[in-house]
Amino acid sequence: MANNSIQLAAAPPLFSALGSMSISFTNTKEKGKNIGKKIPGHFSVLFVAGFGPIVQDLTESHKFYLDALGLSFQQEGDYLYTDKLEGVKHLALWPLSQAAQSCFGSGRWPSDLPVPQAWLEFDVDDIKQATTEQKKRGYTLLTKAKKEPWGQIVTRLLSPEGILVAITVTPAMRK
């Protein structure tokens, strides 16, 4: 068996904010073999806390996800979501105005930043360390360990692809 080791100087763009990676792998037919390696002193991602498109036309987007995929949502104001999809803790159609409010305290997204097309949240074991590491790496943090009204603590930043990425601690999703 060939044993190969890769040290990634830069992680794939979406995940570069989550830390450096060291990957070792063995050329084998084993399924599900863990090829990642935890780097001491770094925080750990526990699960994907939420994902969904950031929508500019809520009615049109809701119709698409209902008609094309048969997804049903619960509604809180303009926020449509489901916690009933296996494999995802929370999927929502998040209006851009609410994303802007969460990041900037205003219902308008700043014109000098790319408008995000989706959001992706990673729940971590240590929000303070994760936030500090992102700042040290030079990422522009849109929020820094901000406590949301529903109890989630969130640090937000934009990925190079324009995805609104969050590093979070979500007590309601922890067992």
- For the chain, the domain total comes to 1
pLDDT tens figures, 27-80: 445 566 666 666 666 888 888 889 999 998 899 889 888 877 788 999 999 999
β 91-95/45-55 pair status? parallel
Task: Supply the pLDDT for residue 106.
Answer: 96
Q: Exposure pattern of 27-44 as b/e (b: 16+ CB <10 Å)?
A: eeeeeeeeeeeeeeebbe
pTM of the model: 0.65
Range of the domain at 136: 45-173
Structural domain contains residue 118: yes
Residue 22 lies in a domain: no
pLDDT digits (tens, 9 = 90+) for 98-150: 999 999 999 999 999 999 999 999 898 999 999 998 898 888 999 999 999 99
- On whether residue 68 sits in a domain, the answer given is yes
Does any domain span residue 59?
yes
**Mean pLDDT of the residues in the chain:** 80
Structure tokens that stand for 127 in this block: 């929000």
Scored b (16 or more CB within 10 A) or e, 106-145 reads eeebeeeeeebebbbbbbbeebeebbebbeeeebebbbbb
Query: In this structure, is residue 23 part of a structural domain?
Result: no
- Amino acid 24: pLDDT: 35
The verdict on residue 17 lying in a domain is no
Q: For the domain that residue 108 is a member of, what is the CATH number?
A: 3.10.180.10
